[in-house]
C-alpha cells in the first residue's frame, strides 16, 4: 500500500501513570479552554470507552472519536485520526490506564503505542499526592522505557500547595529534562460523579455545560496553555497509508432505521451511526423511556447504556416493550448490544426488584456488584446468518454487570467466544429470526461489513 505525508497537525496525547491519574479531567479542561480561545478542537478517546468520549464531545463542541488499535486496526485508527483532525486547529487524545499499559507485558494496544502511531507528543498527568522527588523517578522511568515515545511535558495533579508544586517541579525538570507545564490542586470530585461503569454521562449530569466552563477556568488558572499549544504545534507531518477506496453509494430510497437515543441507551460510536447512514440508512431516534410505539421503520438498533438504572421506567413503558417484541416476531431486523440485549430479555433483577422487559429472548438477567464481563472480546461466527459470514472473527469489547440467571428454554447463538465472557459459557450472539443480540460492542471501522449487511437485511426484510 502506498503512503504519503499529511501536513503538520497540532496534536497531543494526554497520558498518566495509571487509572485515576486525572487524564479525563485534564483533557476535558484543555479542550474546553482551547475552545474558549476560539480554537477548533478535535478530541479523541484512546480505547473503547463511550462515557469519556461523550464528555469530550461536550467539552470540544465536536463529536469525539474513539481510537482503538485492537478494535479497529492500525491503518483504520490512523485514517480516522487524519480524517477527523484535518479541519481542527488542534487534536487532543485522552489515553487510558497507564502510558505503557496494554493487553500484554509488551504494552500492545497501549497509549504509548498509539502515541507512536500518531507521532504525537505526550503530556504526562502525574498524581503527586504525598510525593515530590519520587515523582521524578516515575517520569524518568516513563521517558527511558521507550525512547521512541516523545514525553514532552508533565502536568502535576493533586498538589498540596505552592511549596509542594515547587519542589516536585524542580525535581522533575532537573532529573528528567522535561518541562512541568502545569500544577493542578485537588479538584472537587463531586462535580464529576461516577458509578459502576465510570462517570455519569453528560445527559444525566445536572449541569454539564457549567461543569465544562468550570473545568476550562480551572485549567486556565493552573496550566500554561500557551506552552502546551506550542508543544502541540511541534508535531511534524504524519505518514499514513493511502486511504482505501470508499464503497459505492447505495442505490434506492434511504432505509428508515430506528435507534434508541436517550439517557438509558447512549453508547453509540459516531462512526457506527455514520456507517449506517453511508450504507443507505435514514436514522430515526426513538426514546425508550417516553415513546410508546416504533415509527414506520425497517430496522432497529439498540446500543448500550444504563438500562439497569432506568429499569423501572423502561418496564413501565409497556406499549413500547410490546411493540418491540411484536416487531421482532414479525422479522424486523434488530441489532442489540449489551444494554440492548438486556432490553430484549424477559426480565432484569436488581436491588431486590425484578423488572419485566421486552421478552424477545426467554432470559432472566441479574445485576451484580462486580463486572461479569470486562475487556476485549473476540468471537467466531459459527452459523450462517444475514449479518456475518460463517467463520468470520469479530473483535469487540464488553463491560457488563449482568449475567443470565435463568433461561426459559434453549436460545440459539451464533458466536463461539474465543476471548472474553459473553452471554453463556463460551457462547454469545443470541438470534431470534432477524434479531441479533450480544454483549459484544463492535466498532464499524473494525467490522466494515456490519453496517452494509444491517441495511441490506433491513431493505430485504421489508419487501
pLDDT in tens, 357-407: 999 999 999 999 999 999 999 999 998 999 999 999 999 999 999 999 999
With a CB cutoff of 8 Å and minimum separation 6, the contacts of 61 are 35, 41
Identical fold for domains 3-241 and 255-461, yes or no, is yes
Task: Quote the pLDDT of residue 201.
Answer: 84
Q: What integer best gives the mean pLDDT of the chain?
A: 93
List phi, psi (to 5°) of 326.
-70, -40
Evaluate if residue 52 carries a pLDDT over 70. yes
**What cell does 194 get?**
461516577
Mean pLDDT computed over 441-447? 98
Task: Quote the pLDDT of residue 4.
Answer: 55
Cβ atoms of residues 333 and 461 within 8 Å: yes
From 17, 176, 338, 423, the catalytic residue = 338
Task: Quote the pLDDT of residue 199.
Answer: 74
Task: Quote the pLDDT of residue 298.
Answer: 98
Task: Quote the pLDDT of residue 2.
Answer: 43
Digit-coded pLDDT (tens) for 259-281: 999 999 999 999 999 999 999 99
Digit-coded pLDDT (tens) for 180-192: 999 999 986 545 6
Work out the burial of residue 173: count CB atoms within 10 Å of its CB; fewer than 13 is exposed, 13-18 middle, 19 or more buried: middle
**Among candidates 28, 26, 22, which has minimal Cα distance to 58?**
28
Between 3.40.50.720, 3.30.1360.120, 3.40.50.300, 3.40.50.150, what CATH number should domain 3-241 receive?
Answer: 3.40.50.300
Task: Quote the pLDDT of residue 275.
Answer: 97
Cα separation, 86 vs 261, whole angstroms: 29
Mean pLDDT computed over 419-438? 97
State the CB neighbour count (10 A cutoff) for residue 3: 8
Confidence of residue 240 (pLDDT cuts 50, 70, 90): low
Cα separation, 347 vs 345, whole angstroms: 6
Task: Quote the pLDDT of residue 247.
Answer: 57
The percent of residues above 90 in pLDDT, for the chain, comes to 86
Task: Quote the pLDDT of residue 111.
Answer: 98
Evaluate if residue 424 carries a pLDDT over 90. yes
**What cell does 138 get?**
516515575
Residue 47 vs residues 40, 41, 77, 94, 109: alpha-carbon distances, Å: 23, 19, 11, 9, 9
Residue 386 vs residues 266, 296, 364, 435, 461: alpha-carbon distances, Å: 26, 22, 27, 10, 11
142 flagged as catalytic: no
The 3 state secondary structure assigned to 326-395 is HHHHCCCCEEEECHHHHHHCCEEEECCEEEECCCCCCEEEEECCCCCEEEEEEEEECCCCCCCCCCCEEE
Alpha-helical runs (H) found in 110-207? 111-118, 133-145, 162-176
Task: Quote the pLDDT of residue 5.
Answer: 56
Cβ atoms of residues 334 and 390 within 8 Å: no
Give DSSP secondary structure letters for 399-416: EESEEEEEESS---EEEE
Mean pLDDT computed over 82-93? 96
Digit-coded pLDDT (tens) for 332-346: 999 999 999 999 999
The domain spans of the chain are 3-241, 255-461
State the CB neighbour count (10 A cutoff) for residue 448: 15
Evaluate if residue 1 carries a pLDDT over 50. no
CATH 3.40.50.880, applies to 255-461: yes
Mean pLDDT computed over 353-360? 98
With a CB cutoff of 8 Å and minimum separation 6, the contacts of 352 are none
Cα separation, 6 vs 235, whole angstroms: 11
Task: Quote the pLDDT of residue 239.
Answer: 74
Task: Quote the pLDDT of residue 189.
Answer: 56
What kind and span of H or E run contains 127? strand 122-127
Half-sphere exposure in the Cβ direction for 201 (13 Å, CA): 18
Amino acid at each position: 500500500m502506498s503512503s504519503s505525508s499529511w501536513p503538520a497537525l497540532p496534536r497531543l496525547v494526554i497520558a498518566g501513570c495509571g487509572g485515576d491519574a486525572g487524564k479525563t479531567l485534564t483533557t476535558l479542561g484543555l479542550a474546553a479552554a482551547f475552545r474558549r480561545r476560539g480554537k477548533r478542537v478535535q478530541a479523541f478517546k484512546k480505547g473503547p470507552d463511550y462515557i469519556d468520549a461523550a464528555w469530550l464531545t461536550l467539552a470540544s463542541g465536536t463529536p469525539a472519536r474513539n481510537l482503538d488499535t485492537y478494535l479497529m486496526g492500525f491503518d483504520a485508527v490512523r485514517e480516522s485520526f487524519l480524517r477527523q483532525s484535518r479541519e481542527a486547529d488542534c487534536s487532543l487524545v485522552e489515553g487510558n490506564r497507564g502510558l505503557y499499559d496494554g493487553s500484554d507485558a509488551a504494552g500492545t494496544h497501549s497509549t504509548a503505542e498509539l502515541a507512536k502511531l500518531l507521532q504525537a507528543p505526550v503530556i504526562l498527568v502525574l498524581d503527586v499526592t504525598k510525593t515530590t522527588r519520587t515523582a521524578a523517578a516515575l517520569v524518568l522511568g516513563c521517558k527511558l522505557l521507550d525512547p521512541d515515545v516523545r514525553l514532552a511535558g508533565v502536568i502535576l495533579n493533586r498538589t498540596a500547595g505552592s511549596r509542594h508544586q515547587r519542589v516536585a517541579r524542580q525535581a522533575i525538570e532537573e532529573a528528567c529534562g522535561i518541562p512541568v507545564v502545569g500544577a493542578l490542586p485537588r479538584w472537587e470530585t463531586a462535580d464529576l460523579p461516577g458509578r459502576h461503569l465510570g462517570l455519569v454521562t453528560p445527559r444525566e449530569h445536572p449541569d454539564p455545560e457549567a461543569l465544562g466552563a468550570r473545568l476550562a477556568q480551572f485549567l486556565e488558572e493552573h496550566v500554561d496553555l500557551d506552552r502546551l499549544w506550542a508543544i502541540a504545534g511541534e508535531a511534524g507531518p504524519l505518514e499514513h497509508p493511502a486511504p482505501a477506496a470508499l464503497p459505492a453509494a447505495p442505490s434506492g430510497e434511504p432505509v428508515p432505521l430506528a435507534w434508541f437515543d436517550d439517557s438509558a441507551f447512549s453508547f453509540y460510536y459516531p462512526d457506527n451511526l455514520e456507517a449506517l447512514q453511508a450504507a443507505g440508512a435514514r436514522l430515526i431516534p426513538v426514546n425508550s423511556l417516553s415513546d410508546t410505539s416504533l415509527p414506520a421503520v425497517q430496522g432497529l438498533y439498540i446500543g448500550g447504556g444504563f438500562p439497569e438504572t432506568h429499569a423501572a421506567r423502561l418496564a413501565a413503558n409497556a406499549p413500547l416493550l410490546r411493540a418491540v417484541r411484536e416487531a421482532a416476531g414479525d422479522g424486523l431486523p434488530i441489532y442489540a448490544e449489551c444494554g440492548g440485549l438486556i432490553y430484549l430479555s424477559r426480565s432484569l433483577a436488581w436491588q431486590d426488584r425484578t423488572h419485566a422487559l421486552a421478552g424477545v429472548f426467554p432470559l432472566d438477567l441479574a445485576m451484580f456488584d462486580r463486572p461479569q464481563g470486562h475487556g476485549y472480546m473476540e468471537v467466531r461466527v459459527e452459523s450462517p446468518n444475514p449479518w456475518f459470514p460463517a467463520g468470520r472473527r469479530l473483535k469487540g469489547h464488553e463491560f457488563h454487570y449482568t449475567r443470565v440467571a435463568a433461561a426459559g428454554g434453549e436460545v440459539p447463538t451464533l458466536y463461539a467466544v474465543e476471548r472474553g465472557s459473553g452471554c453463556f459459557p463460551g457462547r454469545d450472539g443470541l438470534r431470534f429470526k432477524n434479531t441479533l443480540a450480544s454483549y459484544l460492542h463492535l466498532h464499524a471501522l473494525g467490522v466494515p461489513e456490519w453496517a452494509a449487511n444491517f441495511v441490506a437485511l433491513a431493505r430485504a426484510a421489508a419487501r
